[in-house]
Structure 1
Amino acid sequence: MQDLNLLRRLPLALAVSAALALAACGGSDNNAPQLLAIPAAPADAGAADTAPAPANVPAFVDNAATNQRGDARYATAATNAGVRVLIGMLDIWRPLTEIVDAGQTAPAVAGFPAVTASVWTGVPNDGTAGGTIVNAAVHNANIDYVVKATAARTKEQELAAYLDDRRAKGYSLSDGMGPLTEAWRSAARQTTSITGIAADATTVLYNDSGNNTGVAGSANPEFGNVVALVNAMGNNGSTEPAKRFYKYARPYRWSSSVVVVPALNPAKSSTPATDGGYTSGHAAEAVRGALGMAYAVPERYQEIITRGLELGENRILAGMHSPLDVISGRVQAQAVVAANLLDPATAATKGAAVSQARATLMLKTGTTADTFYDYAHSGTPANDRFSDYATIKAAYIRRLTYGFAPVGPTTAPAVVPKGAEVLLETRLPYLSEAQRRVVLKTTALPSGYPILDDAEGWGRLNLFAAADGYGVFTGNVVVSMDAAKGGFNANDRWRNDISGSGKLTKQGSGTLKLDGNNSWTGGTVLEGGRLEGTSANAFGKGDVYVSGGTLACNAPAALALAAGYTQLATGALELKLGSGQQGRLSVGGTMTVAGGSLTVSFQNGYKPAAGDTLNVISAASLKGKFDTITVAGFKVEAVYTDNGLQLKLSV
């Protein structure tokens, strides 16, 4: 028997050779059990997927500095990156002139002709629209959306729209930090003077006497690097070149049925020709700030970027902007932030900002590296309106397109802009740059939506979904996590529904939880650390092979493996049982156990009694045994059958 235990710990080829050697020297006999045949690991699925930047397309991150007005060199879509990234608008609306010239002049320079101010009035109903509506269905839906939204606006929405209009955007955004909000504002020394709708609504100005993002630099030694990082996200981020190029009027100028928040009427510009709506400056600034904050505190990544898009929607509810204005603000802002994070001046200091944010917020909240994430998500809907994952996910997805129907083919392959992977650098730190690009590719929006099919791919990015990991496995996907680095390197959770024909290999010491309704077919190999299934179909439809580390079952129902399960003597299985079938393992194919350990624990108040028999594993066929079985609080007798494992409990 000792010889057979040794065989279980050997790779298949070595085990076969050792078995033959034992037989040759009399080490086996006719009464010994048959050698356990260990299946091979899931087959190689080929090269991992890639997401190369589109060829022959000027990269925004290389040309962000061209996003200027008042310079003849950057007066066209061909020469201005901030205009070019929003070029899809020309399929809906053609401005009077395709030049950055609304209320704008610029002298000739370096062979570029001088810019003469456009005659566009900014008022579409003055006898000429000042341009051409190319797609009336989309344009009409765009304005009609604002008409309906402002007509149905509640008092609560009116106040939120007013505050997000007048108050500095940085202060507004920081409530997306939830339980960390007060600590963030205190550390940043962030203030505002706008706390409600002014009693005198005839003198509204953008006069928040607070300090927007807070105090940056050496004047704020505990958080100055963080504030400086967020501030840097605005570099080359002006929306004025796009406004003065596209010359698309604000919604209340297109339709008198748009109801602007009454207290904001005095804030309307008196110079419509220089007050275009496309793109929204507030929406763009909100997304820039949100992405800077999310980079610094990735534990609140999805919540804070949702707050950024919420601020954009409040511009619609205010009557000040249309959905296309707001969507374009998001698109441009994503590109601007990527460019700034990659800028050498920022790249050299962003790591220090992230470290400072984490250290200071932990100090102010009395948390540790092990408790910080849980504290950041300890809010409830009563005190953190971003606490419900399903709710904020639905809101984020809705705001990506605002219900517009596709106007083009929906199956074009996604492309990923050069440098876009930096937007996930702190959220998925254990993935390589190439892997983060594939995550962006496999979670992108379908093609075809108005203004979102820019050549680089900025419009189709879905950062909320990307923060939940891969959407598709193609080829060999190898994930290695180092728990010693802390944060998401130590523990992360992927919530997307992962499809594809690829294979997942988990390495390293960290923990990865899979929570989607997954269907990938290439199988799963666990070599190190912990891989936890928190949904019934967490491991897709392929074989699961545990050669090292711990595979944990923590699904609300039985964790169902569609194919086979193999565990070597160097592997471990953990079942976290609750009531019903929670935490049990159901194997659709053959379960081969060549030793290793099984650990059973209990959760959610479930506690069996001595004398109970637990049905913990079912399989089409069960072969082999665990070396050790441990059940929390009980002694255990294992009862193996051809189709499963029962545990009889005693004390």
Structure 2
Amino acid sequence: MHHATGLRRLPLVIAIGAVLALAGCGGSDHDSRADTVVAIPAPPADQGAADTAPVPAVLAFVDTAATNQRGDARYATLATNAGVRVLGGMLDIWKPLTEIVDAGVTAPAVDGFPAVVNSAWTGVPNDGTNGGTIVNAAVHNANIDYVVKATASRTAEQTLMAYLDDRRGKGYSTTEGFGPLTAAWRTATRQTTSITGMPADATTVKYEDSGNNNGVGGAANADFGMVVDLVNSMGNNGSTEPAKRFYKYARPYRWSSAVQVVPALEPAKSTTPPTDGGFTSGHSAEATRNAIGMAYVVPERYQELVGRGLELGESRILAGMHSPLDVISGRVQAQAVAAANLIAAGATTRAAAVAQAHTTLMKLTNTTAATFPSYAASGTVANDRFADYATSKANYLRRMTYGLPRIGSTTAPAVVPKGAEVLLETRLPYLSDAQRRVVLKTTAIASGYPVLDDAEGWGRLNLFAAAEGYAVFTGNVVLSMDAARGGFNAADRWRNDISGSGKLVKGGTGALALGGNNSWTGGTQVDGGTLEAQSATAFGTGDVYVAASGTLVSNAPGALAVAGQYTQLTGAVLELRLGAAQQGRINVGGTATIGGGTLRVKLQNGFRPAAGDTLTVLGAKSLKGKFESITVEGFTTVTPIYTETGLQLRLGT
């Protein structure tokens, strides 16, 4: 089929007779128009080469992750440590005390700051400032004030979660993002925890979790060991200690006495303020690393899991233990660490873990490859706090920045770190690595936020949005889904609002649904498989062209708007899922050219017309041609009524 060749298909000329409509529907064809010879328009014009997201020409975290070692924290600098370097934007907010305390140790200056050796903070004031200098008071004050307000207004439910997320194993806490799969996951991993509530004496006793965090890995867990091992490996090179010792940014309760630490966490507070940095949050980083590992092996819960990772970060704020900058930086560093570790694991190990996860979880939930995705998403707001998509989306975006003041350019283009595409490998398996990089670029948040404008681009990655596919089409966006491979290769849904001047070409045998408020202009071409509209503007503002092997489904909550032309070839299928109030019908702003093919009408949401009713299913500025076959669910006789501007169906018995 035609797509990325840069050539334009010549129009086809097809003779359409009334007999075609009669053959498919079993009724007489009411058509005031004479039979005509229909010229089939060419597909939407190609929009040129696909978009790209080149690897930034800077030192890559994934190539230097091994420099981030806890034991080397005393010597960590931006020049020597990847975990410190990726958070270098903090120097625009806070300048730590710089002192060389070990004779003979030298390191190059970075960003105008001399190297720091962190073996001791001798002589540093014990007042929480650690002798550093606030560079941007507006951001710093907003950062601490956020914690003051959050801890003053936290609910009893948030207090309990803050305690559990502090004292319980982070891997165990993160599994709450599995929703309906949580029990099965914990059974398969053999996870345990000894922290199941807030003891009455927790205000004076520091409780430690004696559980096993992520569970039992290796040969000791034949059914799930590879999965546990992969999730555990996300912690490799993931220490936050070097960053804590380099930046020396205090915990919020040391900046302000108005911060109210959860009383049950008072015993967990460090008694040595100078060596107890808040930036970056270790709990937040660990939760995000765990969440990414879990989301990689069970991408059916991708957004819910990465959302739980950020939720645990917010728990650290509500606990009074960390500030927004602390937990934001934990996310940033953790994303880089997780990507490096997924790459280091190798494709064979990653694939084996994904396969083992699905085999075991399907067995435990009595599901199949076909039913597992729907089971994973079967939670409700009553039993899965991530079930409401709009709420989860808003929470994720809010937790990326916490509304801190923007201090840099707000229009800088997004860049994508080397290797970051692996984070979407299982969530968007039908895309290439290059396409996944473009997805990350087009869904990244705007620039200018504190700490988030690192040179590689880790800070601006919005993994929640990236799991919904592209946000901008540039050039030809060509994808092919193989239903035989199952999972997201067989069926997927994108809910981002897609803009741009590009063209979408959908091929293969799988089904893709689009549910955003889309405005791309370059057109839509269905060469194979199914493309479904779940919003009125699902196909943007260009032409829609359904080739002989393609199926287009209108499942919009109201009428589907095709702003340009609609063209359907012989062998193609248009499926309208009709409900009340014009749900599922199609309105074409230009010419609708039907060169044959099938019209299939299904009824949903309790919509049940009666025999003798007439359904308006298609409207257009101009309608040419006819369908070869028309069926309506539940009716054996259907009479099409074609006009110059639309199609109605009269229902028989």
- Provide closer, same or farther for how the CA distance between residues 474 and 312 of structure 1 changes in structure 2, counting only shifts above 3 A: same
Cα deviations by residue, 1:236-265 (Å, 9 ceiling, x for unpaired): 000000000000000001111111011111
Secondary structure, aligned partner of 1:36: strand
Instruction: Work out the CA distance in 1 between the residues paired with 2:292 and 2:594.
Output: 46
Match of 1:273 in 2: 274
Greater shift after overlay, 546-555 or 279-288? Answer: 546-555
Match of 1:80 in 2: 81
- Runs (5+) with no aligned partner, structure 1: 1-10, 18-30
Contact 1:576–1:601 (Cα < 8 Å) also in 2: yes
Q: How many residues align?
A: 621
Contact 1:577–1:603 (Cα < 8 Å) also in 2: yes
Match of 2:3 in 1: none
Contact 2:11–2:41 (Cα < 8 Å) also in 1: no
Secondary structure, aligned partner of 1:504: strand
- Provide closer, same or farther for how the CA distance between residues 608 and 478 of structure 1 changes in structure 2, counting only shifts above 3 A: same
Match of 1:500 in 2: 500
TM-score, structure 2 length as denominator? 0.92
- Provide closer, same or farther for how the CA distance between residues 140 and 192 of structure 1 changes in structure 2, counting only shifts above 3 A: same
Contact 1:598–1:629 (Cα < 8 Å) also in 2: yes
Instruction: Work out the CA distance in 2 between the residues paired with 1:323 and 1:464.
Output: 19
Instruction: Work out the CA distance in 2 between the residues paired with 1:110 and 1:408.
Output: 28
- Runs (5+) with no aligned partner, structure 2: 1-8, 16-32, 110-114
Matched AA of 1:511: A
Contact 1:407–1:450 (Cα < 8 Å) also in 2: yes
By how many angstroms is 1:204 displaced?
3.7
- Provide closer, same or farther for how the CA distance between residues 121 and 269 of structure 1 changes in structure 2, counting only shifts above 3 A: farther
Greater shift after overlay, 321-330 or 60-69? Answer: 60-69
Instruction: Work out the CA distance in 1 between the residues paired with 2:214 and 2:73.
Output: 33
Match of 1:442 in 2: 442
Matching of residue 612 in structure 1 with residue 613 in structure 2 = yes
- Provide closer, same or farther for how the CA distance between residues 383 and 98 of structure 1 changes in structure 2, counting only shifts above 3 A: farther
- Provide closer, same or farther for how the CA distance between residues 107 and 264 of structure 1 changes in structure 2, counting only shifts above 3 A: farther
Instruction: Work out the CA distance in 1 between the residues paired with 2:642 and 2:123.
Output: 83
By how many angstroms is 1:198 displaced?
1.9
By how many angstroms is 1:125 displaced?
3.5
Cα deviations by residue, 1:591-629 (Å, 9 ceiling, x for unpaired): 000001100010011111000000000001000001111
Match of 1:452 in 2: 452
Match of 1:405 in 2: 405
Match of 2:50 in 1: 48
By how many angstroms is 1:571 displaced?
1.2
Match of 2:582 in 1: 581
Match of 2:236 in 1: 235
By how many angstroms is 1:176 displaced?
1.0
Match of 1:38 in 2: 40
Contact 2:74–2:117 (Cα < 8 Å) also in 1: no
- Provide closer, same or farther for how the CA distance between residues 639 and 193 of structure 1 changes in structure 2, counting only shifts above 3 A: same
Instruction: Work out the CA distance in 2 between the residues paired with 1:98 and 1:217.
Output: 45
Matching of residue 223 in structure 1 with residue 224 in structure 2 = yes
Cα deviations by residue, 1:77-106 (Å, 9 ceiling, x for unpaired): 01211000000000000000188x8xxx79
- Provide closer, same or farther for how the CA distance between residues 122 and 421 of structure 1 changes in structure 2, counting only shifts above 3 A: farther
Match of 2:63 in 1: 62
Match of 1:307 in 2: 308
Matched AA of 1:283: S
Match of 1:367 in 2: 367
Instruction: Work out the CA distance in 1 between the residues paired with 2:124 and 2:277.
Output: 7
By how many angstroms is 1:403 displaced?
1.0
Contact 1:73–1:79 (Cα < 8 Å) also in 2: no
- Provide closer, same or farther for how the CA distance between residues 121 and 145 of structure 1 changes in structure 2, counting only shifts above 3 A: farther
Secondary structure, aligned partner of 1:645: strand
Match of 2:545 in 1: 545
Secondary structure, aligned partner of 1:615: strand
Instruction: Work out the CA distance in 1 between the residues paired with 2:134 and 2:645.
Output: 68
Secondary structure, aligned partner of 1:196: coil
- Provide closer, same or farther for how the CA distance between residues 256 and 416 of structure 1 changes in structure 2, counting only shifts above 3 A: same
Cα deviations by residue, 1:30-72 (Å, 9 ceiling, x for unpaired): x9944211111100100000000111x1000000001124449
Instruction: Work out the CA distance in 2 between the residues paired with 1:524 and 1:555.
Output: 17
Secondary structure, aligned partner of 2:552: strand
Match of 1:476 in 2: 476
Matched AA of 2:260: V
- Provide closer, same or farther for how the CA distance between residues 142 and 72 of structure 1 changes in structure 2, counting only shifts above 3 A: closer
Match of 2:349 in 1: 349
Matching of residue 214 in structure 1 with residue 224 in structure 2 = no
Instruction: Work out the CA distance in 2 between the residues paired with 1:92 and 1:386.
Output: 33
Q: How does 1:122-161 map to 2 (within 5 A)?
A: 125=127, 129-161=130-162
Cα deviations by residue, 1:3-39 (Å, 9 ceiling, x for unpaired): xxxxxxxx8566499xxxxxxxxxxxxx994421111
Matched AA of 1:365: T
Contact 1:122–1:276 (Cα < 8 Å) also in 2: no
Greater shift after overlay, 424-433 or 72-81? Answer: 72-81
Instruction: Work out the CA distance in 1 between the residues paired with 2:231 and 2:400.
Output: 23
Contact 2:72–2:242 (Cα < 8 Å) also in 1: no
Instruction: Work out the CA distance in 2 between the residues paired with 1:572 and 1:150.
Output: 57
Match of 1:645 in 2: 647
Match of 2:191 in 1: 190
By how many angstroms is 1:408 displaced?
1.6
Contact 1:515–1:535 (Cα < 8 Å) also in 2: yes
Secondary structure, aligned partner of 1:638: strand
Match of 1:25 in 2: none
By how many angstroms is 1:479 displaced?
1.0
Match of 2:377 in 1: 377
- Provide closer, same or farther for how the CA distance between residues 160 and 114 of structure 1 changes in structure 2, counting only shifts above 3 A: closer
By how many angstroms is 1:202 displaced?
4.9
Instruction: Work out the CA distance in 2 between the residues paired with 1:222 and 1:185.
Output: 13
More RCO (CA 8 Å, sep 6+): 2
Match of 2:112 in 1: none
Instruction: Work out the CA distance in 1 between the residues paired with 2:309 and 2:166.
Output: 13
By how many angstroms is 1:201 displaced?
2.3
- Provide closer, same or farther for how the CA distance between residues 325 and 14 of structure 1 changes in structure 2, counting only shifts above 3 A: closer
By how many angstroms is 1:405 displaced?
2.5
Secondary structure, aligned partner of 1:545: strand
Cα deviations by residue, 1:549-605 (Å, 9 ceiling, x for unpaired): 100000000000111100011211000000111000000000000001100010011
By how many angstroms is 1:73 displaced?
10
Contact 1:553–1:574 (Cα < 8 Å) also in 2: yes
Match of 1:462 in 2: 462
Greater shift after overlay, 313-322 or 268-277? Answer: 268-277
Instruction: Work out the CA distance in 2 between the residues paired with 1:381 and 1:218.
Output: 37
Cα deviations by residue, 1:429-469 (Å, 9 ceiling, x for unpaired): 00000000000000000000111000000000000000001
Cα deviations by residue, 1:155-174 (Å, 9 ceiling, x for unpaired): 11111100000000111111
Instruction: Work out the CA distance in 1 between the residues paired with 2:403 and 2:428.
Output: 30
Secondary structure, aligned partner of 1:513: strand
Contact 1:590–1:623 (Cα < 8 Å) also in 2: yes
Match of 1:4 in 2: none
Matched AA of 2:388: D
Match of 2:168 in 1: 167
Cα deviations by residue, 1:322-367 (Å, 9 ceiling, x for unpaired): 0000000000000000000001x44431111100111111100011
Matched AA of 1:61: V
Match of 2:121 in 1: 119
Greater shift after overlay, 203-212 or 136-145? Answer: 203-212
